[in-house]
Amino acid sequence: MAPTAKETEWQPTTAAGVSDGPLCVVRDLEKHYPITRGWLRREVGRVRAVDGVSFALERGETLGLVGESGSGKTTVAHALLGLEEPTAGSVEFDGTLVSELSGDAERSFRRRAQLVVQDPDDALDPRMRVGETVAEPLRIHGIDSRPRREAIVADVLERVGLAADDAARYPHEFSGGEKQRISIARALVTNPDLIVADEPTSALDARVRADVLDLLDRIRREFDVAILFVSHDLGVVERFCDRVAVMYLGEFVERGATEDVLSSPAHPYTRVLRSSVPSLDPTDRTRGRPLTDTVPAPSDPPSGCRFHPRCPAVIPSADLDLPAETWREVAAFRFAVEADELPPGAVGDGSRDGGRNGDDDDAVTPSDVRAAVGLREPLPDADAERAVADAAASLADGDRESAGETLDDAFPTVCEREAPTAVERETGGTVACLRHDPTAAASPVADDESE
Ligand code: SF4
């Protein structure tokens, strides 16, 4: 059997000692970016990219950080590597605060924590031979002997499935998948304890993606390296990660063992992400669809639960008496108006005048609006019906603002008032949703309610 990387001659000493605890500990991490205006650069707001995230990463473990674009996962990954200075909270690596590292300890950290980026072209200098690119971190970290560097590079290239003599070639001579292998070799060459892989397969086609995931999996076992795997793709995380943390608008909404979280997602957002993973099982009832597609801006996150304008399980106020499916349609109507995501035919141009000025056959009517948003039938609750009828009339007249105000007033939700805190999931891990909070007056959404 081939020796593992930890058994090869390349065993650099570490300036920082190895502690007994987790490799990385992130506590209450916040990263806000000020929004400034004017020549005085006065702060007028903040992009809350990460807002109070905590987790630990064990040695040799693979943790998936998953969420849509803009959820803050790359910011967390960069903070872990010390590439972003936290606004608040802390990041510890092997028992030492990353923000306090300097000198030899910082050099050791830079060697032990490596990044693999999405696009390998960003990591490879087209003018440098592959061997020089892969050897560069060794040179930076004090391996002065050229023959030794070349021997280590040849070994690592073979370990990532390339040939030792590929060292003499240039990046443009390789395919996308091979380039990603080179950038993985460059990350591995310093024998790291942590690799942060930021969407490492999303620029690759499906077949190559599977090969690169197999490689990362083998490397994880062979090199005993912890991997923080950042991805928007739950299918990839499912295949590759021991644990998963689901992020939405800068916060963790659900965490736990990958198998538990993905086989029985507790948070409606995890269910939404699950619905984008193709399933061959027609009885798969763990799917959900968001009420709206627009992800709100992190500079102005929604009040209460940040997911509420999109949540298919959003909780109605206690005094509203509608069947669950009708409530979901009404909520979808309200938030579609708010997000300006109404379907075609749901907004008039103000030309409707009841035929007073001639033929207005083409004008959008309130009935057209109701048909377009799926609320054709009168609602069983008189007040709710009146509000929907008024909003539909406003939209037929082209008045979105008035329609939005009517719906906001008539259909408030518990979830815009109260921010959920993380509670234990039944099968381990945590979930931040009022439907799982025993102190909130709502029950978890059943599987057959989620579609
Ligand atoms: S708190 Fe409300 S809006 Fe947020 S995920 Fe739970 S049900 Fe949905």
> pLDDT tens-digit profile of 37-70?
888 889 888 899 999 999 999 999 999 999 988 8
246 lines ligand 1 (CB under 6 A): no
- The mean pLDDT of 253-275, rounded to a whole number, is 93
What is the C-alpha to C-alpha distance for residues 28 and 51, in angstroms, rounded to an integer? 8
The type of residue at 276 is: S
CA distances from 152 to 17, 124, 131, 132 (A): 24, 18, 10, 12
pTM exceeds 0.75: yes
Is residue 229 within 8 A of residue 238, CB to CB? The reply is no
207-250 pLDDT, tens per residue? 888 888 999 999 988 888 999 999 988 888 998 899 999 999 99
The ligand 1 atom at the shortest distance from the C-alpha of residue 253 is 5
CA distance 215 to 208: 11
267-272's contacts with Cβ under 8 Å and 24+ in sequence apart are 267/431, 267/432, 267/433, 267/436, 268/307, 268/311, 268/312, 268/313, 268/433, 268/435, 268/445, 268/450, 269/307, 269/310, 269/311, 270/246, 271/312, 271/445, 271/450, 272/310, 272/312
Highest mean pLDDT: which of 82-91, 232-241, 353-362, 373-382? 82-91
Cβ 313 under 6 angstroms from ligand 1: yes
Domain 6-241 has CATH 3.40.50.300: yes
Note whether 270 and 425 are within 8 A (CB): no
Question: Where do the CATH 3.40.50.300 domains begin and end in the chain?
Answer: 6-241
User: Does the C-beta of 335 come closer than 6 Å to ligand 1?
Assistant: no
Question: Chain centroid to CA 158: how far?
Answer: 33
Percent of the chain scoring above 90 in pLDDT: 67
For residue 420, the ligand 1 atom closest to its alpha carbon is 1
Does the beta carbon of 308 sit less than 6 angstroms from any atom of ligand 1? yes
Give tens-digit pLDDT for 110-167.
Answer: 999 999 998 888 889 999 999 999 999 998 888 888 999 999 999 999 999 999 999 9
Distance 308 CA to ligand 1 centre (A): 6
Cβ atoms of 112 and 14 within 8 Å: the answer is yes
End-to-end CA distance of the chain: give it in Å, rounded.
50
CA of 25 to the centre of ligand 1 (A): 28
Handedness of CA 315, 318, 323, 326 (dihedral sign): negative
